[in-house]
Chains A and B, each alone.
Chain A
């Protein structure tokens, strides 16, 4: 009998996940129809945009997906840390920006061979992101400013500072564009594996290392346990002897370091120069990724890859169909919303199943602990 219940529970989970995806597609289709376009044509263009052709994969376009995935995955790994500690690190966007600013500073000011310069840029970016994150953390723990508000304010300040640098001190003396600094020196840039498949091997390695570091830190270290305790209940964590304030600051700073690396990737590979909107919403997208995966690090690469594909696929909508590329955000937002609502529906239905079974003891009820993978 308990087998049957488990099976029906699993069936419910799968049905609701599929249902939420179907509902998202339907809603998206309706929205596309509302602006007078054809949903099928749009989906087809997105599919082509990620490099899927009838006769195979276009490596150039597929590389576009990977190049969105790298910074998104880095930021998302970082956010898994801050989420584990129970923190809403909305400031991740600004932390990416500061990573980009620090990396750009090194790329502009320091002249070394590439083997030395690139690691230096990455270290600087991690420090920049971590500092900007730590600031949000200190505002929270010392100043009582909730990390959501501190984060939003710091995001805007980071963006304003980037615009100031590009339009002011970093402008070439002969005058330049307000949209970008001058291109960085060649030695400062990450190099693609080939001109047909423009993906940086070093960046891929960085993502893999980040994945391992975050997974191990959260599962296998005392610090990971402390963050978990902090996330579950700050008060009990404090009573258990966890340094809650210091760990909160550390968690946001660690997230900022990963986000900063993501920002460095954007300037050192995607653009090759500093841009005003260098993070381009990737940090916020990372928050959506982590809302889906929760603290399960293993799912982050897959969910972030899916989101990166939507993002990359949508960049061609403007040229092909004169549609605004904000459609990517619409699709991603609807999907996350539907999955959250479906989780709630599942909890509600299971709750009702449990109360209907008289032999079920209250201790046997597991409201949230046992969640099927839903990404």
Chain B
């Protein structure tokens, strides 16, 4: 039992950057902007976060620096889209390559050295709850932050008028505009928030989950995984977070199986990408819709609400008043 709690606890911890990044991207995409730069943004934020923390000796300062990097990259995409009418996907793609190369070039003298990290801070009382305490409440601050972010995002998105405006801008910008919402300002704000979370996720690798900086970066590919998790999660914070934990769990399972049998390592490396294709097939390929149709009547509505996987209607489209 203790062993199980320990394993689940480490999955929660390892999933944290994915949870933060994919919830950040969920916020961004719900307001109608695709930030395709995740893989590069995360690497650059991790590098800048690590080097800032290393030079200043302060992990919190590093986290802040990484967060700012993520925010700036996201803002660049939305400025290019709103002010300059350039394609979000094109700018995001260039930025993902550029940020990854920048991280490698600027971080070349800082690889594989120890630096400041966030310590484990058990939460008093809660940490002593049997089983659950071990899983959820004996972590570093970033893990706790991911919990707050998850519930906070859900609450703002579905229980406040700000969230209503956010979703309206992503679904029907013209209607939102007619109702008095400043569409572009809303997009700037939430894209910046989402990008900041992506940056924070990047820094959390370097400062807590997989401390340090390396070339090639240890988290390479996770940005793409986070983008796919947003789709898998149907742009809903809870489902997205569930996707991130599920993914981290399956990855842990695969590497455990590999260590205990003599399964070749390549199979384990292939697992994330096979999962990516299979899950996207599952949610996009009409399978879910068929499942809903065979379900009993009253369950259908609940299922459809929970398994909804259409993207925000105005995702990627620019909005102009004309």
Contacts and interface: CB of A to CB of B under 8 A. Distances in A.
Partners in one complex: yes
Interface string A348-365: 100000000000000000
A347 interface: yes
A347 B266 contact: no
B98 interface: yes
Contacts, number: 132
A291 B94 contact: yes
Contacts of A343: 84, 86
A167 B284 CA distance: 35
Interface string B258-270: 0000001010011
Given A143-B284, A168-B264, A326-B105, A149 B83 contact: no
Given A145-B277, A153-B273, A153-B277, A333 B94 contact: yes
Dominant secondary structure of chain B at its interface with chain A: helix
B109 interface: yes
Contact of B102 (A142, A145, A330, A345): A330
A160 B94 contact: no
Nearest to A328: B101
A343 B90 CA distance: 13
Contacts of B209: none
Contacts of B276: 149, 152-153
A348 B84 contact: yes
B110 to A, nearest CB: 10
Interface string B71-97: 000000000100111100111011101
Interface stretch (A5-13, A57-65, A334-342): A334-342
Contact of A160 (B83, B269, B286): B269
A328 B89 CA distance: 22
Interface in B260-302: 264, 266, 269-270, 272-274, 276-277, 280-281, 284-286
A337 to B, nearest CB: 5
Contact of B284 (A144, A148, A291, A344): A144
B249 interface: no
A329 B97 contact: yes
A273 to B, nearest CB: 19
B106 interface: yes
A327 B80 contact: no
Contacts of B231: 149
Interface stretch (B159-167, B220-228, B235-243): B220-228
B256 interface: no
A333 B215 CA distance: 19
A145 B309 CA distance: 13
A347 B85 contact: yes
A287 interface: yes
Contact of A144 (B90, B264, B274, B286): B286
In order of increasing CB-CB distance, the 9 nearest A-B pairs are A344-B84, A333-B98, A144-B284, A329-B101, A326-B104, A153-B273, A324-B108, A164-B266, A145-B280
Interface of A: 31, 34-35, 88, 90, 139, 142-146, 148-150, 152-154, 156-157, 160-161, 163-164, 167-168, 284, 287-288, 291, 323-324, 326-330, 333-334, 336-337, 340-341, 343-345, 347-348
11 contacts: A35-B109, A143-B284, A144-B284, A145-B280, A146-B284, A149-B277, A168-B266, A329-B97, A337-B98, A341-B86, A344-B80
